[in-house]
Amino acid sequence: MHTNANKEQGMDAPAQYFDWGFIHISYPNLIVIGVMLVVFAVALVAPFPHGSDRDA
Amino acid sequence: MPDQLTKVKPQAGGNGAAAAEVDDASWTLRTRRWVDRVLPMDNLLPHRQPYYVGSWVYVFGVITIAALVWVVISGVVLSFMGPQWWHDSGLGRFFNSLHFWSVQMFFLFMVLHLWGQYFMAGWRDGRAATWIIGVVIFGSSILTAFTGYLSQQNFDSQFIAINAKDAMNSVGVGAFFNVLNFGQMYGLHVMLLPITVTFLVVVHIVLVRARGVVKPIDPEGGAAS
């Protein structure tokens, strides 16, 4: 087992929380949602690579 | 049975009507014809696709499936080796992390796929079942993830179980889903729910193959022809 069980660090430590009015969300969740929104926005504008012999 | 054998046997004199009658009564033949009609091989394994299949939305779906494959592979290894291995050994922690991060990828890209299909109105033109099964996959996956958090065998899972029991009781299902019962939660997590999710994913893909992906919405408001 862990020898430093009383010394929480890294991902073993409780997450920090972002507070803004009624919004209360951990930074890991906030970051994941932000990344998802960015990836979705990029997917809307990024050209999709097409092969040379596509059906029209 | 000799009568039936006589009927289906080809006869030189021509007894085609009788043979056809027996053929129609054959459930294997009827099933084969139904599969041929609903899901012809050209649809099941197409070598060409319409131009609008070239979309990141479907890449998100494929990445979701790829993540699911890794979730299942790492989950099989974890269930085979057991909690002490995944907590104490370096390789065990690696597979534990592989399982966790594969799930993160699974949910992330599943939700991106869902967002895309929502804005494309992917349920159009007879694709309601595909959409609904996708939603059920989403719900089943959440249940699988919840039971996974309860199956970690650490203080975190105990904390979650003790708090979640009140939620279960508040909606009246505490007698059926006892989150403090590790055996029940672990069984649901490694057997019933993964089989459900995997089966529904297969049905989802078969439906996509059977109907094809939805056409783009044209600027006039209807479906592009």
- Contact in structure between B204 and B134 (CB atoms under 8 Å): yes
- Contact in structure between A27 and A14 (CB atoms under 8 Å): no
The two three-digit tokens of residue B172, written as one number: 């009246």
Please, which residues 1-56 of chain A have a Cβ atom closer than 8 Å to chain B? 1, 32, 35-36, 39-40, 43, 46, 48-50, 54-56
| Chain A residues inside the 8 Å CB shell of B51 | 50, 54-56
d(CA B140, CA B196): 7
Q: Per-residue pLDDT tens for B110-151?
A: 999 999 999 999 999 999 999 999 999 999 999 999 999 999
d(CA B124, CA A21): 39
User: pLDDT confidence of B43, banded at 50, 70, 90?
Assistant: confident
| Chain A residues inside the 8 Å CB shell of B104 | 32
User: What value of ipTM does the predicted structure carry?
Assistant: 0.76
For chain A, give the number of residues: 56
Give the CA distances from residue B151 to residues B32, B73, B122, in Å, rounded to whole numbers and listed in that order.
43, 17, 35
- Cβ–Cβ of B50/A39 closer than 8 Å? no
- What pLDDT, on the 0 to 100 scale, is given for residue B116? 95
Q: Per-residue pLDDT tens for B56-83?
A: 999 999 999 999 999 999 999 999 999 9
The DSSP result for B109-130, as a single string, is HHHHHHHHHHHHTTTTTT-HHH
Give the CA distances from residue B195 to residues B68, B114, B117, B140, B199, in Å, rounded to whole numbers and listed in that order.
12, 21, 24, 10, 6
- Contact in structure between B197 and B146 (CB atoms under 8 Å): no
Question: What DSSP element (H or E) covers A25?
Answer: strand A23-26
Write the single-letter amino acid at A3: T
Could you tell me which chain A residue has the CA closest to the CA of B108?
A: A36
Cross-chain CB nearest to A55 (options B48, B87, B88): B48
**Does the predicted model carry a pTM greater than 0.90?**
no
Cross-chain CB nearest to B54 (options A35, A39, A48): A48
Distance from CA of B224 to the nearest CA of A (A): 13
